Amino acid sequence: MSRKQIIGGVGDRAGRGAGRGPGGEVGDDSGCPILHVDMDAFYASVELLDRPELKGTPVIVGAPGARGVVLSATYEARRFGVHSAMAMTRARRLCPVATVIPPRHGRYAEVSRGIREIFEAITPLVEPIASDEAFLDVGGARRRLGPPALIARVIREQVAERHGITCSVGVASSKFVAKLASRACKPDGLLVVPADQAVEFLHPLPVGALWGVGERTEQALVRLGIRTVGDLAQVPVSTLRREFGAVGAHLAELAWGRDDRPVVADAPDKSIGGEETFPHDVDDPETIRRELLRLSERVAARLRAGGHVGRTVSVKLRRSDFTTITRSRTLREATDVAKEIYDTARVLYEAAGLERVRLRLVGVRVENLRPAATATRQLSLGERETGWREAELAVDRATRRFGPEAVRPASLVRPPSDAMGP
């Protein structure tokens, strides 16, 4: 997709206005090279493309089981109080009329790649945050494409025309303010926060809007009488540092709109992992081992697809009382082979002493990543190549051609009566 295709005919329709500022006036976007583009209810919106009869109705995307969580919800469902990361059982109580759709991650990845193409046709400085959002630095594209607000409008139109979904875009002088601006104009909106109005935009917001303010930190701030970003801005930095350490000084900077982090294109993955919450608590070691194998296969496939290998394997084990234990081991050589990942994960699980403890969740993660092209395997004297990687590459090829269930380890081929499913 060329840059010319991206703009083709859209500029005239989008107009040359700079967008709306926080007070509703036309904002000056001359000092605002940073865009935060966020898809609106992404997973749910993609599902509606294939099920248009559900448009305008409450739809929830997520695993329908008792342990499932909400991944996405249409705005019709959100009016009932449903939101992402909510337990599915609670979401269904809040909105019993909603249609629940199991997630299709392959479909979402396909649409996400198309959206990424739109971004990269405009600027090489694209920093994906998730499959449905990204930061863009369009400072270098102004001479060719026009002011940032116009570029934002072009992006919105192209996403709608090419993929049939909507997005919201925040335009600002920093990543932090741009992200808050996109949130403020959802759904299907565009908001410019001029550089000289960033403080005016920030100070009325609740203090929980700041990056780094989780639920506990927000509660601690409220106990100190700090409820808005403006309240926080008036507190001496020394006081914030005394109460919250280095985090306090960072929050003081954000409260005045100071965020000098650049947009980092293609930031390398720090780790790749997966986890699974069981439909019911499990204390059978063989069932746990099978799930560790399933997750190791999934993680290894993602490593190979991304051109990564990793040296550190970790497992996450969550008990029925929600206490969580993690264990990790660094390998002699970096790997993207499922068998090596699984062998390490199994040993870590067995060494944790939880083989007869009821678990509700297990996870496998590979860290310490590097490009696979730079990795070399050193064989010990007399050691032979096992051929496992070649076999798994053959599985990758079969999976791409015939689907994810085409080839599986024998231990993962389960009888239909098995409660854990295939």
Q: Which domains does the chain have, with CATH numbers?
A: 1-202 (3.30.70.270), 203-255 (1.10.150.20), 271-412 (3.30.1490.100)
Which of these ranges, 125-139, 241-255, 399-413, has the smallest mean pLDDT?
399-413
Q: CA distances (Å), 315 to each of 202, 369, 389, in order? A: 40, 16, 22
Element (H, E) at 368: strand 359-371
Which of 77-81, 235-239, 256-260 has the highest mean predicted lDDT (pLDDT)?
77-81
Token pair recorded at residue 18: 């700079």
Please compute, for residue 182, the number of CA atoms within 13 A of its CA located in the half-sphere on the CB side: 28
**In this predicted structure, what is the pLDDT of residue 408?**
53
Question: Which has the closest alpha carbon to 292: 335, 355, 367, 334?
Answer: 355
Residue pLDDT, tens place only, 20-52: 444 433 468 889 999 999 999 999 999 999 999
Is residue 59 pLDDT above 90, yes or no?
Answer: yes
Numbers of helices and strands, H then E, in the chain: 17, 12
Please compute, for residue 302, the number of CA atoms within 13 A of its CA located in the half-sphere on the CB side: 21
The torsion angle over the Cα atoms of residues 107, 40, 53 and 160, rounded to 10 degrees, is -80
Question: Which has the closest alpha carbon to 122: 83, 153, 80?
Answer: 153
pTM greater than 0.85 (yes/no): no
Question: Which has the closest alpha carbon to 317: 295, 343, 341?
Answer: 295
Is residue 14 pLDDT above 50, yes or no?
Answer: no
Does the annotation count 133 as an active-site position?
A: yes
Question: Which has the closest alpha carbon to 36: 213, 214, 182?
Answer: 182
**In this predicted structure, what is the pLDDT of residue 396?**
53
* 33 prior amide bond cis, ω within 30: no
Q: Which residue has the higher pLDDT, 63 or 330?
A: 330
Q: Give the rounded percent of residues in the chain with a pLDDT score beyond 70.
A: 81
Quick one: how far is CA 393 from the chain centroid? 27
CA distance 62 to 90: 12
Contacts of 93 (CB under 8 A, 6+ apart): none
Which of these ranges, 119-123, 127-131, 384-388, has the smallest mean pLDDT?
384-388
Q: Is 12 annotated as a binding residue?
A: no
**In this predicted structure, what is the pLDDT of residue 83?**
93
CA distance 132 to 371: 25
Residue pLDDT, tens place only, 244-261: 888 888 999 999 999 989
Handedness of CA 299, 300, 306, 308 (dihedral sign): positive
Token pair recorded at residue 247: 């985090």
**198 φ, ψ to 5°?**
-60, -45
Question: Which has the closest alpha carbon to 253: 217, 212, 192?
Answer: 212
Question: Which has the closest alpha carbon to 160: 171, 148, 169?
Answer: 169
Which residue in 127, 133, 297, 392 is the catalytic one?
Answer: 133
Contacts of 53 (CB under 8 A, 6+ apart): none
CA distance 71 to 49: 17
Average per-residue pLDDT for the chain: 83
Provide the residue type at 332 as one letter: R
- C-beta separation of 150 from 11 below 8 A: yes
Which residue is listed with tokens 């600002």? 172
Residue pLDDT, tens place only, 353-395: 998 899 999 999 999 888 887 655 544 444 444 566 566 556 5
Question: Which has the closest alpha carbon to 336: 272, 410, 266?
Answer: 272
**In this predicted structure, what is the pLDDT of residue 411?**
53
**In this predicted structure, what is the pLDDT of residue 305?**
78
Q: Is 38 annotated as a binding residue?
A: yes
Is residue 410 pLDDT above 80, yes or no?
Answer: no
